[in-house]
A = this chain, B = another copy of it.
Amino acid sequence: MSGKRVYFFGDGQADGDAGMKNLLGGKGANLAEMTKLGVPVPPGFTVTTKQCIAYQQTNDLGDALKADVREALARVEKVMGQSFADANDPLLFSVRSGARVSMPGMMDTVLNLGLNDDTVQVLAAKSGNPRFAFDSYRRLVQMYGDVVMGVAGHKFEHAIDEIKAARGVQLDTELSVDDLKELIATFKGIVKSEAGATFPSDPYEQLWGGISAVFRSWNVQRAIDYRTINRIPHDWGTAVNVQAMVFGNMGEKSATGVAFTRDPSNGEHRFYGEFLINAQGEDVVAGTRTPQQLNNAGRDLLPAGNEAKDLPTLEEAMPESYRALDDIREKLETHYKNMQDVEFTIQDGRLWMLQTRHGKRTGVAAIRIAAEMAAEGLVTSDEALLLVEPDHLDQLLHDQIDPEAELTVLGTGLPASPGAAQGEIVFSAEAAVAAAEAGRKVVLVRRETSPEDIAGMNVAQGILTSRGGMTSHAAVVARGMGKPCVAGCSDLLVDGAKGEMSIGGKTFKAGEMVTINGTTGAVIDGAQALVPPHMDDPNLETVMGWADATRRLKVRTNADTPHDARQAREFGAQGIGLCRTEHMFFGEDRIMKMREMILADDLAARKSALAKIKPMQQDDFEGIFRAMDGLAVTIRLLDPPLHEFLPHETGDMKDLADEMGVALEVIERKVESLHEMNPMLGHRGCRLGLTYPEIYDTQVEAIIGAAIVVKGDGIDVRPEIMIPLVGAKRELSDLRERTVAIADRLIDEAGIELNYLVGTMIEIPRAALLADQMAEVADFFSFGTNDLTQMTFGYSRDDAGVFLPDYVRRGILPSDPFQQLDQSGVGQLVEMAAVKGRQANPDLHLGICGEHGGDPSSVAFCHKVGLDYVSCSPFRVPIARLAAAQVVVREKMAAGK
């Protein structure tokens, strides 16, 4: 292991800086940066992420690292004028994880390292607060026992409950110093019996254990799960930050808190945060005590009845510290050009900053912050574009409760993550997962959530908690997931064990329906109708305006109906990149005609059935063309195998037989004859078009017929006919010839001018490999990356669920290639085809119409390989627009412009 292992910071000097996140983690890099900025940060040092990865191999810190730690520690001792293992004036340390990106609550922390039976006495004496000293020691034994020595946390909790019961008290704070001493002894006994080892009194032993435990916590299951959900590579590792302890729990002049430089919920430019007097940091985050507001403005905004409404703010309680904090807020925003999420501690009236990082925010907030920071001159419009994550827009597009609906509001909590959700009530993550797997929508209701609940939160429509603030686990995670969340709803009583909750005088069992409004905090009775959102936020308009002015890539939509086409156009779609004609045949009146066609015995019968289908298709196309006046519409000719249109259950086949007046056997025989071992690789797409040319002929007639009609009505119609599943040039050239012959004849008969294109999907690996040949007979390529991914990997999307999640979890694949385009493999084919295609046909138009067209990293890839457009589902259009702009901004920045 080469390179510097340990980075010191303190007293205005630091080895690292904010640019070194990969090596020092976000927290460590920012502690260094803040130190350099002159912000008061307790001195300390960061052990690099590389050391974490090395540790995973050896399970040993190694002598070289330990030597470096000792050296850095000596520098901290010098700054603090105290010594770590000094029994007379002990310096205490915290050990905290800090990965490249924040993984809230996922990894471990140990505080108060350095305390033991001797030093606790010194701390008691020096602080003049024996309760504080012994409580700190008690916390160390408990945390260390749990995190480092692997003792189940509830064992300690149970001991606390027992002594409180024995003393007849309710709160931890009611325990006396002697009680705490007794507890410490009890805890040590628990450690001994559970872990089979003694709690170490040597500070260095404590330190090595703490650092090792943080390294190990990188690979505990919940952390792995979190990374998988959030697509964080498993080989990044976490850094470890070892920092001189400062105490927010040293008495009434001490406090600890969490703040955002702007409101992370709506983006308003106000200082926003919560704190607790006489507490340590995790008390705020854990949501076990209701925290107080940072300033009076924040308190005024709290809903009536909120407990914190009656508590003093930091602005009132410690006005000097508040002003210092407010100054730092200004300094950090100006420096980082982004909204910051900070942790602070006030020890005996002195303010210390423990962390700063870019704050997580809702979609609405992200848009507002971006627009306002640009307006304030803090950032350029390019920089502002990078302040919005594409997924933020997804939240803006979330469902809202129908404004017309008459609601029974049962109670109100904190509006922790916007959007509305409804579903059946579940009280555990397991129940949420089970119900979701059964296809049911759920709202996860918990007193408070913890990292163990991640899987359940991920599948829930929304999250509702009775305790915790806006920065509680539930709130932070829900915002990250873009899911509606109402947190800290004090009107709500949750009895998970009993499987009941009561609110507004009504009791609900698991399985009953509830609706939450994460934008207002309302909890509403029953399943309310939800309406799709409007993109009418003026800040959004501003930001999207910048995005549209910046991006090169056009964004089209995948839409099969005039309704979807109109919706997508509202979202900014610049045409249709994929109109699937088969979906049009599943309507009740149409499927019969389709079946008649499939069951036809000969060409004449097939043609007669197709003649009935044609006017319906033409009608669909007319509607879509009108909705897309002036924009291109790419229509894919029939793609799926014919058996998809036939019933497969005997009962359904009988119905069909009766309805069509044929014997059941006729249907059964046809269904059987069309059965395929691997339909994905079967008789479909252009293969069908070549076997039954009359099907494509009819579709081409309907497309061109519709175009002629709407053109007559003054519509600017731009049809693009797309031939699917091409793998050999002759497939395309034969079908293109037929298509052109029909189209030109119809246009000629109509006596008008009408331009149209004929192109192909590139979704078969061979088509990509021979793209130069394909391009000779294509006006455009549209990369069908769904099928291209299936065939390039040899994965059936229908079947890969058995092993693919496991592959991603184990890091065999970096991500699900059906969600994020596999750039090294599938992307290699896309790039090859783009290059070869353009060489053979410089006018070739290139786009993508797989699901990846709406995935930000895939959109960036499409930009880089020079595609002309991406096409995605209507609700992803704004995301694609932003992603397409961001890649341009990043390119400019990388080029130093």
Residues of chain A having any CB pair with chain B under 8 Å: 676-683, 687, 690-691, 725, 727-728, 730-731, 734, 763-766, 769-770, 787, 790-796, 798-800, 802-803, 806-807, 810-813, 822, 824-826, 828-829
Are A678 and B792 interface neighbours, CB within 8 A?
A: no
Residues of B within 8 A of A764 (CB): 792-794
Are A799 and B765 interface neighbours, CB within 8 A?
A: no
Kindly name the residue among A680, A725, A770 whose own CB sees the greatest number of chain B CB atoms within 10 A.
A680
Residues of B within 8 A of A811 (CB): 730
Residues of B within 8 A of A798 (CB): 676-678
- Contact for A803 among B690, B791, B792, CB less than 8 A: B690
Are A792 and B812 interface neighbours, CB within 8 A?
A: no
- Could you list some 24 contacts between A and B, CB below 8 A? A676-B799, A677-B680, A677-B799, A678-B679, A680-B796, A681-B794, A681-B795, A681-B799, A682-B796, A682-B799, A683-B802, A690-B810, A691-B803, A725-B794, A731-B812, A764-B792, A765-B791, A765-B793, A766-B822, A769-B824, A770-B824, A770-B825, A791-B792, A791-B794
* A638 CB → nearest B CB, Å: 15
Residues of B within 8 A of A810 (CB): 690
Task: From known contacts A691-B806, A806-B691, infer whether A769 and B796 are also in contact, taking CB-CB under 8 Å.
Answer: no
Residues of B within 8 A of A731 (CB): 812
* A765 CB → nearest B CB, Å: 5
- Contact for A796 among B678, B763, B824, CB less than 8 A: B678
* A693 CB → nearest B CB, Å: 12
Residues of B within 8 A of A799 (CB): 676-679, 681-683
* A134 CB → nearest B CB, Å: 48
Are B793 and A825 interface neighbours, CB within 8 A?
A: no
CA distance A824 to B727 in the complex (A): 12
Are A766 and B790 interface neighbours, CB within 8 A?
A: no
Task: From known contacts A794-B725, A806-B691, infer whether A680 and B683 are also in contact, taking CB-CB under 8 Å.
Answer: no
* A802 CB → nearest B CB, Å: 5
Are B680 and A679 interface neighbours, CB within 8 A?
A: no
What residue of chain B has the Cβ atom nearest to residue A687's Cβ?
B803
Residues of B within 8 A of A803 (CB): 683, 687, 690-691
What residue of chain B has the Cβ atom nearest to residue A828's Cβ?
B769
CA distance A799 to B688 in the complex (A): 13
Residues of B within 8 A of A677 (CB): 679-680, 796, 798-799
Residues of B within 8 A of A807 (CB): 690, 728
CA distance A288 to B676 in the complex (A): 48
Q: Which 7 A-B pairs have the closest CB atoms?
A: A681-B796, A678-B796, A677-B798, A766-B825, A682-B799, A730-B812, A676-B799
Residues of B within 8 A of A829 (CB): 765, 769
Are B766 and A793 interface neighbours, CB within 8 A?
A: yes
Residues of B within 8 A of A727 (CB): 793-795, 825
Are B787 and A794 interface neighbours, CB within 8 A?
A: yes
Tallying the copies of this chain within the complex gives: 2
Are B825 and A769 interface neighbours, CB within 8 A?
A: yes
* A642 CB → nearest B CB, Å: 11
What residue of chain B has the Cβ atom nearest to residue A806's Cβ?
B691
* A634 CB → nearest B CB, Å: 21
CA distance A691 to B790 in the complex (A): 20
* A603 CB → nearest B CB, Å: 15
Residues of B within 8 A of A787 (CB): 794
Residues of B within 8 A of A806 (CB): 690-691
What residue of chain B has the Cβ atom nearest to residue A729's Cβ?
B812
CA distance A682 to B802 in the complex (A): 9
- Contact for A791 among B725, B791, B822, CB less than 8 A: B791
* A255 CB → nearest B CB, Å: 48
Task: From known contacts A676-B799, A725-B794, A794-B787, infer whether A766 and B826 are also in contact, taking CB-CB under 8 Å.
Answer: yes
- Contact for A812 among B728, B770, B795, B812, CB less than 8 A: B728
CA distance A813 to B729 in the complex (A): 9
Residues of B within 8 A of A824 (CB): 769-770
Task: From known contacts A691-B806, A766-B822, A813-B728, infer whether A676 and B791 are also in contact, taking CB-CB under 8 Å.
Answer: no
In addition to A681-B795, A730-B811, 19 A-B residue pairs with Cβ atoms within 8 Å of each other are A676-B796, A677-B680, A677-B798, A678-B678, A678-B679, A679-B799, A681-B791, A682-B796, A691-B803, A728-B813, A730-B813, A734-B812, A765-B793, A765-B794, A766-B793, A766-B794, A766-B826, A769-B825, A770-B824
CA distance A763 to B765 in the complex (A): 13
CA distance A72 to B127 in the complex (A): 121
* A652 CB → nearest B CB, Å: 19
CA distance A174 to B2 in the complex (A): 106
CA distance A795 to B811 in the complex (A): 30
CA distance A415 to B810 in the complex (A): 66
What residue of chain B has the Cβ atom nearest to residue A685's Cβ?
B794
- Contact for A681 among B676, B763, B790, B826, CB less than 8 A: B790
Residues of B within 8 A of A676 (CB): 796, 798-799
* A741 CB → nearest B CB, Å: 16
CA distance A862 to B10 in the complex (A): 66
CA distance A678 to B764 in the complex (A): 16
What residue of chain B has the Cβ atom nearest to residue A691's Cβ?
B803
Kindly name the residue among A794, A795, A799, A826 whose own CB sees the greatest number of chain B CB atoms within 10 A.
A794
CA distance A807 to B728 in the complex (A): 10
CA distance A795 to B683 in the complex (A): 9
What residue of chain B has the Cβ atom nearest to residue A801's Cβ?
B683
CA distance A725 to B691 in the complex (A): 32
* A418 CB → nearest B CB, Å: 38
CA distance A800 to B734 in the complex (A): 19
CA distance A763 to B683 in the complex (A): 22
CA distance A731 to B812 in the complex (A): 6
CA distance A790 to B790 in the complex (A): 12
CA distance A734 to B679 in the complex (A): 31
* A730 CB → nearest B CB, Å: 4
* A692 CB → nearest B CB, Å: 11
* A675 CB → nearest B CB, Å: 9
CA distance A133 to B541 in the complex (A): 96
What residue of chain B has the Cβ atom nearest to residue A827's Cβ?
B769
CA distance A795 to B680 in the complex (A): 8
* A873 CB → nearest B CB, Å: 23
CA distance A447 to B634 in the complex (A): 59
Are A769 and B790 interface neighbours, CB within 8 A?
A: no
What residue of chain B has the Cβ atom nearest to residue A727's Cβ?
B793
What residue of chain B has the Cβ atom nearest to residue A674's Cβ?
B802
- Contact for A680 among B681, B730, B793, B825, CB less than 8 A: B681
CA distance A826 to B768 in the complex (A): 11
Residues of B within 8 A of A795 (CB): 681, 727
Residues of B within 8 A of A822 (CB): 766
Residues of B within 8 A of A794 (CB): 680-681, 725, 727, 763-766, 787, 791
What residue of chain B has the Cβ atom nearest to residue A794's Cβ?
B764
What residue of chain B has the Cβ atom nearest to residue A730's Cβ?
B812
* A465 CB → nearest B CB, Å: 36
CA distance A763 to B807 in the complex (A): 19
CA distance A822 to B763 in the complex (A): 18
* A31 CB → nearest B CB, Å: 34
What residue of chain B has the Cβ atom nearest to residue A822's Cβ?
B766
CA distance A766 to B812 in the complex (A): 14
CA distance A727 to B825 in the complex (A): 9
CA distance A202 to B713 in the complex (A): 61
Residues of B within 8 A of A813 (CB): 728, 730
Residues of B within 8 A of A812 (CB): 690, 728, 730-731, 734
What residue of chain B has the Cβ atom nearest to residue A683's Cβ?
B802
* A686 CB → nearest B CB, Å: 10
CA distance A40 to B610 in the complex (A): 64
Residues of B within 8 A of A683 (CB): 799, 802-803
What residue of chain B has the Cβ atom nearest to residue A790's Cβ?
B681
CA distance A332 to B79 in the complex (A): 105
CA distance A680 to B764 in the complex (A): 16
CA distance A770 to B792 in the complex (A): 11
Residues of B within 8 A of A793 (CB): 727, 764-766
